[in-house]
């Protein structure tokens, strides 16, 4: 985690930057090393990333959760950047 946002590094080099307020429910490893994102759920209030073997990250989508112009940014080498507004 950096000072003002959460950064998740994936096998293969992809990076997910989470700028909005978020809550982490930890599994067995506080850094989620070796974990997989098994599902992503989105509604008008939040995006929830479910982890295996346990834990989740919930990213708030309410106006008060934003710390900048976008909620998240997904970066992959050689592919377009995906931004959640």
**What are the tokens at 15?**
């990076």
Strands (E) across 33-81 are located at 36-42, 46-52, 56-60, 72-75
41, 48 Cβ separation under 8 angstroms: yes
- pTM of the model as a whole: 0.83
The alpha carbon of 12 is separated from its chain's Cα centroid by a whole number of angstroms, namely: 17
CA-based max dimension of the chain = 33
- For the segment 15-43, what is each residue's pLDDT rounded down to a tens digit? 999 999 998 887 665 667 778 889 999 99
pLDDT tens, 41-70? 999 999 999 988 888 899 999 999 999 899
Is the pLDDT at 4 greater than 90? The verdict is no
Q: Please state the domain extents for the chain.
A: 6-84
């Amino acid at each position: 985690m950096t000072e003002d946002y959460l950064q998740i590094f994936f096998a293969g080099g992809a990076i997910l930057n989470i700028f909005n307020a978020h809550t982490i429910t930890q599994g067995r490893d506080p850094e989620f090393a070796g974990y997989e994102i098994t599902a992503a759920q989105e509604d008008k209030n939040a995006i929830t990333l479910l982890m295996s073997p346990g834990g989740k990250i919930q990213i708030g989508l309410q106006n008060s959760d934003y710390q900048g112009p976008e909620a998240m940014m997904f970066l992959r080498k050689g592919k377009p950047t995906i931004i959640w507004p």
